[in-house]
Structure 1
Amino acid sequence: MLSLRSRIVANVRPSRLSGLAGRPSVMAAVAAPGAVRDACTPPARVYSSQYSRPISNPSEKDTIVKLLYNIGSRKEVEQYLRHFSSVESQKFAVIKVGGAVISDDLATLASSLTFLNRVGLYPIVVHGAGPQLNTRLESAGIIPRYEDGIRITDGPTLAIAREVFAEENQKLVEALENMGTRARPITSGVFVADYLDKQKYDRVGKIIRVNRDVVESSVRAGCLPILTSLAETSDGQILNVNADIAAGELARVLEPLKIVYLNEKNGLYHGETGKRIDAIHLDEEYESLMKEPWVRYGTKLKLREIKELLDCLPRSSSVAIISAEHLHKELFTHSGAGTLIMRGNRLFSQDDIKNVDRDRLRALLQAEDEAVKSGAQSTASYFHSLDQLRKAGGKYRIFADEPYQAAAIVTEGVGGRQVPILDRLVSTKSAHLNNIVDNLWKQIQKEYPRLVWIVPKSSNNLSWHFERADGSLSVGDGIAFWYGIENLGEIDSAIRSVTRSTVLPSGRAPTSAGTRRYSTLVRPVQQQQQQQQWLRGMVTDTSPTTAGGQQRSYRIGLIGARGYTGKELINIINNHPSLELAYVSSRELNGKPVSGYTKAYLDHVNLSPAEVGTLAKSGRQDVDAWVLALPNGVAAPFVEELDHATASLPIKDQPVVVDLSADYRFDTTGTWTYGLPELFRSSLTSKPVRRISNPGCYATGSQLGLAPLVHLMDPTRLPSVFGVSGYSGAGTKPSPKNDPAFLADNLIPYALTNHIHESEIGFSLTRMVAERMQQQNCGSTNVRVQFTPHVAPFFQGISLTIHVPLEKSMTAAQVRDEFRAWYDDEPLIHVTDSIPLVRDNSGKHYAVAGGFTVPKAPLEGTESAVADRRAVVVVTLDNLLKGAATQAVQNLNLALGLDEFSGIPLQDKPQLSLP
């Protein structure tokens, strides 16, 4: 995933254990800077206070941490949590929130802050209210005035400002408390100021002291401090202070790990390329950055203020510019999401070991290099090997930072080898925490546009290497990585040469014996032909065997792997005897290894619709089936490219497409087949099927509960479905519907009418019973259903209570027998006498129908006799499995000519006891 870039613009986010984020107004801050204080002027009353952090509910915290695993690996999340929890609570983060965020994105902001608090973190929030103040001033007929980018604050302006700040502060506090997060409004008493320049700016302050005890008492009480940026003089005069300045002054006192500026643009953008700047290392880049022609006005002032702030703070501190909705990705993943600014360390490179501090380099190798620590190689012998390399006509270059917290050594020229080899890369934990390694890596990229290196499979940092490589191979005890190389034969030659010289911690070189599996390339389309040719000569056949001998393995492309369903699909395919993953595409996980997949080393890619179409033009040579696990409304561009690319191919050579969204469930053209096998199996098997629309989770359970009784229903009355889902059904984006704290002791109804599954249930069942409805002259061929979904405080599973109006009275045993007749031969539908419970088949691949009940029969001829002719059925299923991933695999199996239940664990059905 390495791509060359300028010093300033980062196209690939490096690993960084210093990332935090949010969403509000640093671009507002960049555009409207405040006053600049003298660098490193220490505010008064700086003291340390140690106290313990309030502990949140352990089970609740565990659940939220598991949710975080969906935006990053378990190792990343736990590493960041340890890092953030290693300091006093008030030293975690100062977050500056622009007024635009409170007015436009309050719910997202409150949800993001709540999420952090649920894992025991206490960000300190300082907010502005610029847009709201301008609106209020305009209504009052007051024209805002600025001088040097600073708002001139006269008496009438300040009076309105105090009201506006108090109102916006209360809005944020109430939004947090409505989500169950304790928050304390602090509108005064923190910032003590003098007049900045009374004649020029009027009532604008320059902060001279910060009363941190006001903030700390809030954290001690378990409340998030929510501060306005208003200050007071020593004699009580209120003064206006720019929120960026206030946040910076507070940070100088608290020395937090993170200072976060929230803005709606999700970062700082390069003025010429228009691309988001991923990271800025000030010690290396500041001087050249400030000379850029596009760095001027507010941008220049903002960067100068950030540098002055970070120069006063420990090197472990950093600034993040981010949007509120990406706060968690910025905080808990190496890749981050916005713009990260840190000091870093000055770097150097030398081509002769005599010009470096060998004692400090030796100490670093002895402390951090696995080969040296294991005794496989001494530092003296390694230094000698570098001397011998030079004498033999080879070259090497040493990269390091001035304190020798990180170092890399690149060699080239051994045995006529043309591709440079990364021979060593070592660093301290601190270097990773402060992004020194990432900055070092950028320097290596500048000097070496092509590189190959090998990492032991036992390394704890494999994901870091996958993120920075264009491709990878499993080579014996290690994994070979490379970037910048198009010729795969050249890659193989370089790998063969490096395996002869590289020493792993085990004390031996990586062997070339055994299967070498090719990892998905970041540029799969451009290298497709070359890859296919190379693979035929290099990779052994690992297709599953059957009783009949060797059988081919079908290759699956998964688009949209970040969500819960994508992860379940990966798990099933990983254990499937005839399916393997070819591509796993995710924009947010691009470059990261595919977690839980062990058939091959595979990293996520970010395939565009055009790239998917190009891959499909070769027919089913590379990808036999595509699974689209995308949100509603997103699948169309991929489908259009696939349709266009395969239109001229015979249907047997066209790849199968299974769409998990609702986009094609209402197709009336005959192009798409509805993939609920238990009800529509003949449609899936009577002819070759290449486009399958996977049913929704609620719709699957509802139809399974209604289908056996449809021919017995009273067409003049509507069946009703009361559905309750675990909060995994609400997706991974933070919201009240997937916040365990908000859901605790709670049940949230939503979409009370017209839910898309309500339409889907009726639309699909209508296909089944159209002929019967027409025969009864009911005036309509549509089956209609009343459906109301709810979210409950459990993670996974669905319970549906279904009331079915009947044409005639039935007993519970008769209702049960109808279900038994429909589903006795269906391995994934279990019929039970008792009321099924969510917990009993959560994590299982089958659905359960049971609890068959009918009301006591009233006197015939009474009004209630008709109303009570109904049956009540309860259906449970796992929304991520039978409601999504398991059903998708059923459809793949059928479309590819495999056994429908291949790769799906089957459980014995329960015994029935009703007579």
Structure 2
Amino acid sequence: MLSAYRSIARLARPARPVCPAVQSCLNSVSSFNSVNSINSFSSLNSLSLRQYTSSAASSRETVIQLLDQIGSKREVEQYLSYFTSVDTKRFAVIKVGGAIITHEIEQLAKALSFLYHVGLYPIVLHGTGPQINELLERDGVEPQYIDGIRVTDARTMRVVRSCFLEQNLMLVDALEKQGVRARPITSGVFTAEYLDRQKYQFVGQITKVDTKPVETAIESGYLPVLTAMAETPDGQILNVNADVAASEIAKSVMPVKIVYLSEKGGLLNGEKQIISTINLDEEFDGLLKEPWVKYGTKLKLMEINDLLHHLPRSSSVAIISTSDLQRELFTDSGAGTLIRRGSKVSRYDTSASLPQNLRNRLEESVLKGMDAGAVSVFADEQVDALAVVNTNVDKDVAVITQFTATKTGWLNVVADKVWDLVSSAYPKLVWVVPQSNDNVPFYFNRSSGSVTRNGYVAFWAGDNSVMPTAISLLESYSQKPTATASSSAASGKTTAQSQPKFGTRAFSTSARRCEKVALIGARGYTGRALIDLINKHPRLELAHISSRELEGQRLEGYTKKTIHYENLSPEEVKKLEEAHAVDVWVMALPNGVCQPFVQAISSAQNSRSVIVDLSADYRFDNTGTWVYGLPELNNRSEIAGAKRISNPGCYATAAQLSLSPLITEHFASQTERPSVFGVSGYSGAGTKPSPKNDINHLRNNMIPYSLTDHIHEREISARMQTRVNFSPHVAQWFEGIALTVNIPLSRPITSRDLRNMYVERYAQDKLITVTGEPPEVKDISGHHGVVLGGFAVNAAKDRAVVVATIDNLLKGAATQCLQNINLALEFGEYEGIPLDHVIRG
């Protein structure tokens, strides 16, 4: 299938501004296809160069208008938003076949010009195989190949070098004629050793990639154009395979897109037909045995397989023609051959057959339903997508009660595969989704019809005999007596980016009243941060706010209603609980203080509210009453519906997220301890005056404290189930924490693999950002998440270092509290959390 799920991600960074004249010309364009849109844009280059001005309106809308004829406006806006957070050099690596430069150089230059003029800087690497063959044939030299590798003697090497330089100059010149500032990079990127000097002579095996020349070019506003030539440490030029070079540069920069431009437009099978999709995990070994897989094709597949095993599972490689470059990058439709790792999808009809990782993701009610024979679960091995189907509603119709997918699940088309398996097993299907769900277009494309009522959409697949069941199911989510029916699915392309949110918890109630929150101990910085979040939350409101020091004062900055501080006693708290006046109690009190309030709530008759404790009082609970509320590491289903939640500490949150991937992957040594060096801003010392929050005392200073047996050291060690050394410090800034985490290794790992491990582990977590560079504490203040980066491994490969930053008042306290409240009340986990204030990698 090559439809809405082909592309990993489309479009990119914020576009450059264009002048009104260009805007007017672009708006007048009425008919485009993939090639024509490139040509039409390029015809405006001279105009745009003459009249370009930084004060002109943004060309974001221009891009959308230009591409609207090859995709939809929704697609373009969706992928613009997705790529906005991507580091410029990580946009794309585009490998250009030598035949493209010979026969399609003008079209190639126009396609790359389009990207450049909307602010995108792909790393372009070209080969020159066909040209070399022509030159050698002209000189009477017959090319020699061994295992698909060109034997490069001294005479051939002279031709190779000359040809590479000539082709590179041709492409750079063609780009500059299109108004593109292009920089030829013919050396200094790839270091190589002789692959086998006796066998292949001047053929290299790349040992090191220096991305600095590429980064410098992009930072200076130039499009980097690389050749597939390398040098030994002594300076000898070696010929390297262009596919291998593209793979190595991609491993270094980890781009969002990897594109191989081919004159054939894709990978051809034995019948000379383009293969639409290859799932390497399932097909790689079999492909290598095919008689048509030999020489360059075999080498290309092996290189791509190796590349994708170095990159996050969500990555893929597209082999396409030049004319399809826009469609591949800017729309959902895709083209050519898509190569990805893939994932096996299975069906489970009994709880006993479930693997443990899937069992952990499901609620007890689902497991019991499976034992009763009314439920089936469909999921892939990594549980990147799962569906729960109930057959007990109508004997002829199955109901999808849950469908969820991670970001990786969408990007690798696992969600599509799970849905296809469900629909093939059950021809008659019904499901209900909130009308505000981001993936309504996806469900429309999977349905035969739909009914909309009071904020919900009931879909069905099959003939119209399924409609009564859909309408009946919708009644449980809707209160309005009228409905609007649609006999066919909505037109338009589907979206494959956002995670579906419908499921047993996500639409379990149609009630929209605000849940009432009481905040005990609201004077501190964390209380203020939580008040601000609740003020903007669509489904929460403050009912009571308690502070002994501020009693009677009006709460400033809260706009939902007028509210005054109280000084609530445990007895008053108990009465409020018995009156069901509060849905969620948040304890923002110092350690050792909240127990009387918790006991008062618990002793109230018909107590039903949720308690979230921000102190350390219940983080070590072993009675099973309290759930530890770190959603990214704890089982979210344990938090969902919990009545007692202990909010983790700020240092402990960042430290555990830094340690967990290595600990759980059994890399950590059992004989040595990880160490955590942490520095916090002085807001972490609270509002009670002390040297640790005295600005004058902290000026040009840093204070170490509690250097052994700190409460967070106990917390981290307990949760990681290994003893950890922790050394906290406080510095002169107000907000934010930086952690440097040293982890002993029991077996070697490269820094690249280390980073990939973290990328894959946290791919679905919207508040966790993984980046290559060490994050800086000045960037995290005011942001709702954790940034992990600076992945390093020492020369002995027995110690890894991870750097983390976190805002101690937000993800370290208030934001995490809101995550836990959302889960406990069965809201969307990130509801009310401004995700635009999360740092992106």
Please, what TM-score do these two structures have when normalized by structure 1? 0.45
Larger Rg: 1
Please, what TM-score do these two structures have when normalized by structure 2? 0.49
